[in-house]
Structure 1
Amino acid sequence: MFKISEFSKLSQVPAKTLRFYDQIDLLKPAYTDQQSGYRYYKSEQLLDLHRILAFKDLGFTLEQIKQLLNDNVSTAEIRGMLRLKQAELHSLIQSEMERLRRIEVRLEQIERKSDSLSHCEVVVKKVEPLMVATLKETTSRANIPGLFEEIDEYLKWNGIPLPVPHIVMWHGCPECESSIDLEIACPIPRKLQDTARFRTMELPELTVAAVTHISRPDMDTPVSIDLGSWIEENGYQISPEMPSREIYLSPQEGNKLWYVTESQMPILRAGFMQ
C-alpha cells in the first residue's frame, strides 16, 4: 500500500484533494490508521481516481460522480446522464456563441458611429394596410435570420419573386432572450393558402414613429432609446394594442448580415386612450 503522499505523487492529484474525497465518501483510503490517522491506498484505486477525474473533466459535479460510481447504476443510467450533460453543454455553447455575437455587433456599432445613417431622425408617418404572409414563433433573436430563410422558401414555393422586405413584429417580452414572442411577415401581392406554419393576413393601418438605421436582425438595436425619448418629448403615447415593427429593407452591400432597417413604433396622441 502507498502512503497518501506517495499515492498523490503517483496519481498527480494533490493530497489535499485526496483528503477531501475521503471526507465526502467519494474515494475512501484502503486503510486508515486509527491511531495516527494516516491514510493508505492500493494501486488498484488509481482506476477509481482516474474515473473520478474523467467524469470531472466532462463537467459532472462531485455529487453526480458519486452516483455514477455507484455499483447499482446501470450502463443505461450512465448513458442517460452523459446525454443530459451533452445537452447541457450544447445549450451553454449556444448561449456563449450568442454572447460572442453580441460583443462582435457592439464592436461593429462602435466602428459605425461616424456613419451618416447612424444619426437617427424620427419621423411620424401613416402606414397603409398591407397583405402579408406571416410565420409566428417563440424563440430567440439569434434565430431570426433562419426564420427569414424559412419564410423565403415558403414564398418561392408559392411563386412569389424574391427578394422581399422582412418585417419582424414584436408581440411580447423582447428581453426574454430565448422566449421572445415574435412574428415574421413579408408583403405579398395575393392571398396564399394557409398552412400549419404560415398564414396570410392584412396588417392594419397605423400611425407610427419611425427611424431608419443600419442593424442586424439577430441583434438588438439601441434606436429604441431615440424612439422613446422622441415619443416622450413630442406628446405621444405608445399604442398598447399594436406590436412594434422592424422592417429589414435590404442587406448592406458587401455585408449581408447588416440591413437598412426601419424601426416603427405605433403611437397615439397623449390622452387619446383616456
Structure 2
Amino acid sequence: KLLAAGDNLPVAQLRGMLRMRQADLAQELQAKQAQLIQVEARLRQIEQEGQPSPYEVVVKPIPTQPVASIRQIVPSIAEFGYYCDSMYGRLYHRLAQLNITPLHPEITVYHATEYHETDLDVEMGLTVLPQIVQSPPAVNDLTFQELPAYELAAALIYDGPYLNLTDGVLALLKYVGTHGHVPAGPLRELHLSGPAHTEQTADATPVIELQLPIEQV
C-alpha cells in the first residue's frame, strides 16, 4: 500500500516513510531470528538428553564485585540485544561524564528465580574501583554497589556468539538441578573477552563466564 501510494507523495516524504518501514521490518526480522535461535536451543537441549554436556561446570566461591549499574525490565528475550547495547552504552557514557574509568569485566545480572523469556529483570554493570562504591557520586540514574560474595557458585565458560548463549545457561541450570543444588542468588554473566557492544565484537568470538550462586537442597 505504501509503495502504491508513492506516486502521490513528495520524494522526501516517501523516502522518510520507506526508511521507517525498513526499520520496522528489520526489527521484526531481528525478533523472529531471536525466537528461532531460542527454539533451536531448546531442540538441541532435547537432542542432548543423556549425552555428556559440552560444557565443563566447576563449583567455586565468587568474590564481591564493585560495580556501577543500571537495572531495567527487558520486555522479551528477542529484544535483549537492543537493550544490552542501549544500557551498556548509557553506562559508559555516564561514567565518562563522571570521569570514572570502568574496569574489566562487564557484568550482566539476571534477577529471576527461574529461566523465562519475557519481562526479564536485568541489571547491567561495569566494574569500578572499590573506593568509588564506598564514596559514590551523587547521581540518581546509576547505582554504585558491591555485588555480594557467595561461598558456592556453579560456573562455566561459554565461547561463542551471544545469540546462542542460552545453550550455556540451560546447561548450567541442568547441572545445578541434577547435582542436588538450588540457586541461591541471581545468575551473573561476565564478559571476559571485552565489551558486549555489537560494533566492538563483530570480528571476535565472545568469551563469557556464567556464574550461578548455589546451595545444597
| Band the TM-score falls in, shorter-chain normalisation | 0.5 to 0.7
Normalised TM-score (structure 1):
0.54
Match of 1:202 among 133, 142, 146: 146
Checking the alignment, whether the CA contact within 8 Å between 1:131 and 1:187 is kept in structure 2 is yes
In 2, Cα distance between equivalents of 1:88 and 1:255: 26
Deviation at 1:138, TM superposition (A): 1.6
Match of 1:246 among 163, 174, 189: 189
- Structure 2 partner of 1:236: 181
Q: Which amino acid aligns with 1:134?
A: S
Q: Do residues 150 (structure 1) and 85 (structure 2) align?
A: no
In 2, Cα distance between equivalents of 1:122 and 1:233: 12
Normalised TM-score (structure 2):
0.66
Q: Helix, strand or coil: the match of 1:221?
A: helix
Whose relative contact order is higher, 1 or 2, with alpha carbons under 8 Å and at least 6 apart?
2
Deviation at 1:217, TM superposition (A): 4.5
Cα distance change, pair 104–265 in 1 and its aligned pair in 2 (3 A): closer
Cα distance change, pair 158–218 in 1 and its aligned pair in 2 (3 A): farther
Q: Do residues 165 (structure 1) and 110 (structure 2) align?
A: no
Q: Do residues 267 (structure 1) and 214 (structure 2) align?
A: yes
- Structure 2 partner of 1:186: 126
In 1, Cα distance between equivalents of 2:115 and 2:178: 24
Deviation at 1:155, TM superposition (A): 2.2
Cα distance change, pair 186–96 in 1 and its aligned pair in 2 (3 A): same
Q: Which amino acid aligns with 2:193?
A: S
Q: Which amino acid aligns with 1:160?
A: I
Q: Do residues 96 (structure 1) and 29 (structure 2) align?
A: yes
Cα distance change, pair 256–199 in 1 and its aligned pair in 2 (3 A): farther
In 2, Cα distance between equivalents of 1:156 and 1:224: 32
Structure 2: tracts of 5 or more residues without a match: 6-16, 45-52
In 1, Cα distance between equivalents of 2:204 and 2:31: 15
Q: Which amino acid aligns with 1:235?
A: G
Deviation at 1:266, TM superposition (A): 1.4
Deviation at 1:182, TM superposition (A): 0.4
Deviations 1:19-71 (A, max 9, x none): xxxxxxxxxxxxxxxxxxxxxxxxxxxxxxxxxxx47968xxxxxxxxxxxxx
- Structure 2 partner of 1:31: none
Checking the alignment, whether the CA contact within 8 Å between 1:215 and 1:221 is kept in structure 2 is no
Q: Which amino acid aligns with 2:143?
A: R
Q: Helix, strand or coil: the match of 2:191?
A: strand
Percent identical among aligned pairs is 20
Match of 1:175 among 96, 106, 116: 116
Deviations 1:228-259 (A, max 9, x none): 232233221122xx211111112499745642
Deviation at 1:91, TM superposition (A): 4.9
Structure 1: tracts of 5 or more residues without a match: 1-53, 59-82, 111-117
> Is the radius of gyration larger for structure 1 or structure 2?
1
Cα distance change, pair 101–227 in 1 and its aligned pair in 2 (3 A): closer
Deviation at 1:102, TM superposition (A): 6.7
Q: Do residues 121 (structure 1) and 56 (structure 2) align?
A: yes
**Coordinate RMSD, CA, aligned:** 3.7
In 1, Cα distance between equivalents of 2:25 and 2:67: 36
Q: Helix, strand or coil: the match of 2:111?
A: strand
Q: Do residues 221 (structure 1) and 162 (structure 2) align?
A: no
Cα distance change, pair 160–97 in 1 and its aligned pair in 2 (3 A): same
